[in-house]
Amino acid sequence: MFAGMVGVYFAFGIMVSSIPPMVTEVRTDLGMGRGAMGLALSAWTAMYIVTAAMGGRLVDRLGIGVALALGGLSVAATGLARSFAQGPVSLWLAVAIMGIGGPLVSASAPTLCGLWFSDLDERQFAMSVYNLGPGIGSILAIFATNSVLLPWLGDWRAVLRFEAAVAVAATTIWVAIAIRAPRRPQSTVQRTQAPVREEWSGLLRSADVRFALMLGAMAFFVMHSLNNWLVDAVSEGAEISAKASSNWIAGAGALGLLLLFVVPRLATRFGRPATLVGTYGAIALGVLLVGFGPPPAVVVGVFGTAVRATIVPLLLMTLISADAVDETNMGAANGLWFSTAQIGAVAGPFLVGAIADTSAGFGGSMLLLAAMAVLTATLIGARARRAALR
């Protein structure tokens, strides 16, 4: 079950990073500026704001098997639709498809870990490791697009169709596994039949849940901005080609995946708040080097931003450890978290692209991301100190 879920999330990661490596080709073909492209790339995250909370509740109601299959099919559908885009509006609509079924993937993954791994350390490790799926998918998309797929397939539309086929294959494998998987033992916790608003209001009454939701929005502001614009920013700042930029970013992404095995142990030893503060400090330094450093330092900065791969599992562990979250509402809590987090995912790429189009350039964009990282670290540190004083 865990491996099949990671496979679907692998296809999800490919689709998230499908356009950024070839963003110049797509913008040129469709006649779009950076601001318009940033808006289009964030269309699926805009949909998440509306659909993710309900998607999480559907995971609780439909079960992980059905929910994840539907989510995988939406990943394939968005790839196919993107390949037929003819302008800003059609591209926005095509990208938005991922925001309809994608929440079923996002909420199913941590829910599966929460339900199938009862030991706390094992669960924390599983929630870090499952991010290898989208992480490897994203790295492969960034690395292989300019080096392999574009030369092999000829244009960006064919690349997107190929990636859609990968999503179909991953979803088919998941269905085969889920049908044959043994049933999980019945829970001793009574499943709630509360109306959706009552369930959400119960979660939102928890200060821990509200803080986790706010951190999610701030995290996605930084992460999605970097995912969408780092190739362009590094190419410009380091004065290298988009292909070389993609290769360096893919290498940094591989480092981020290795950190997924290290950070859970650091969090166990030093605590999640201290680990998150250190992570955001590294990101702030990295984006400042990308925005203002000389060409060699820009590449060093890319590797500083690699630690962002560890943020989501740390924040989701914070969420499911909240006092109001148990296994009867875990899917709803995860969906609510992703719904809120996508507010940052929509605002970030758009603002970074819009600022990059001004005289401030990518330097101004990276300064904004560094400020957000520092602010997040400050809030986490302050809350941890208050908790220690109680």
Q: Is the pTM value of this prediction over 0.85?
A: no
Taking the CA of residue 230 as centre, how many other CA atoms within 13 Å lie in the half-sphere pointing to its CB?
Answer: 35
State how far the Cα of 287 lies from the Cα of 291, in Å rounded to an integer: 6
State residue 376's pLDDT score. 95
Q: How far is CA 126 from CA 123, 174, 260, 323, in A?
A: 5, 18, 10, 21
State how far the Cα of 331 lies from the Cα of 265, in Å rounded to an integer: 25
Give long-range contacts, CB 8 A cutoff, 24+ apart: 80-85. 80/160, 80/161, 80/164, 82/18, 82/19, 82/160, 83/156, 83/157, 83/158, 83/160, 83/161, 83/164, 84/157, 85/30
Q: Which two tokens stand for residue 159?
A: 């690349």
SS3 content of the chain, % helix, strand, coil (to 5): 85, 0, 15
Q: Which residue stretches of the chain have pLDDT < 50? A: 185-192, 389-390
State residue 300's pLDDT score. 92
State how far the Cα of 281 lies from the Cα of 301, in Å rounded to an integer: 12
Domain range 2-179+200-389, CATH architecture: Up-down Bundle (1.20)
Looking at residue 9, its amino acid is Y
State residue 385's pLDDT score. 82
304 burial type by CB count under 10 A (0-12 exposed, 13-18 middle, 19+ buried): buried
72 burial type by CB count under 10 A (0-12 exposed, 13-18 middle, 19+ buried): buried
Residue 158 and residue 29 in contact, taking contact as beta carbons nearer than 8 Å = no
